Chains A and B, each alone.
Chain A
């Protein structure tokens, strides 16, 4: 019973392509996030949604578009992929906005490689 599941685990694609990463949580949490982890392992927030509403939209190229059809799902679509987009993308969720008492529950990541 995976709490936060992301698909695919690995994604290799050519520059210029469009791709999507899906995320689902079965914890009943209200808030979901996308983080990017670069080659130096730094975790950077990209987006967060609270009950399907966008609440954080960090400085991210507009080629990245999140979509939350319901509070259990947060997908990430990336247009016109560039070499610099290569990274590990993590989905996470929390009971409410912020880490608070329970922290985030992270998925196992999607390793995106753009060639």
Chain B
């Protein structure tokens, strides 16, 4: 089946720093999505990308759909304490969705 490799697995950063994480696959996807999961809650959609090469922003978040359609990255600028959580990428192809195994972000004030 399709697999998504998400890296890094975890990050410990200082408040104010920028963050970058990515997701790669050996398979192509038509849609890439990024979710954030707060402790004790379900994942919440942050950004969805539909076209190879697409770059989309949502506030301090920027995500890109890789040209090869096999990867995507998410950047968070000027991190704040409430950015802590688990970030999941997800890819979709032919009606089938696959989730990455998450990047856990810790922000030290």
Contact = CB atoms under 8 A, between A and B. Distances in A.
Contact of A108 (B40, B50, B101): B40
A109 B50 CA distance: 28
A14 to B, nearest CB: 24
Nearest to B96: A98
B42 A108 contact: yes
A70 to B, nearest CB: 22
A106 B43 contact: yes
B43 A98 contact: no
A41 B50 CA distance: 26
* Interface bracket on B: 20 to 34
Nearest to A4: B42
Contact of A43 (B31, B40, B50, B99): B99
A101 B48 contact: yes
16 contacts: A45-B97, A90-B42, A90-B43, A92-B42, A99-B92, A100-B31, A101-B48, A102-B48, A103-B33, A103-B48, A103-B90, A104-B43, A104-B45, A106-B43, A107-B42, A108-B40
Given A41-B101, A99-B97, A108-B40, 9 more contacts: A41-B102, A41-B104, A42-B101, A43-B99, A98-B92, A99-B90, A104-B45, A108-B41, A108-B42
